[in-house]
Amino acid sequence: MKALGRHVLAEVYGCDFDILNDMKKVEENMVNAALEAGAEVRECAFHKFSPQGVSGVVVISESHLAIHTWPELGYAAVDVFTCGDEVNPWDACNYLVEKFKAGHMTATEVKRGIVDGIQKEVVNL
């Protein structure tokens, strides 16, 4: 079954508070995670919350990486969506686990745009 993309939804636990609460560090780690996975970075948008937390997205040619952090809980919710066969979303997730000094990660991969399913939908219209 051919999919257009792979979307990894990662729960990253036991992270370093200071890293998750530093917008520049989070952005740098997200950009480097995209590069580590073999992606081409296009744009970034990040926001620092008060009193803590960071949300952001790295737009890549192959789709995106997104994050929201809860530094007080040592937790980050990470999405890595890639299209094509050249970029591995797991490489990005594993890179972030290392850089956030995480205790562990649980993650699920969802296949997006199942070509067989799309063709059946079109035929049934």
Q: What is the pLDDT of residues 27-81, one digit of tens each?
A: 999 999 999 999 999 999 999 999 999 999 999 999 999 999 999 999 999 999 9
CATH number at residue 24: 3.60.90.10
Residue 80 burial (10 A CB sphere; 0-12, 13-18, 19+): buried
The number of domains in the chain is 1
Q: Looking at the annotation, which residues are catalytic?
A: 63, 68, 83
pLDDT of residue 5: 96
Q: Which domain holds residue 85?
A: 3-123
pLDDT of residue 114: 86
Cross-strand bridge partners of residue 11: 77, 106
User: What is the model's pTM?
Assistant: 0.90
90-123: buried (b, 16+ CB within 10 Å) or exposed (e) per residue?
ebbbbbbbebbebeebebeeeeeeeeeeeeeeee
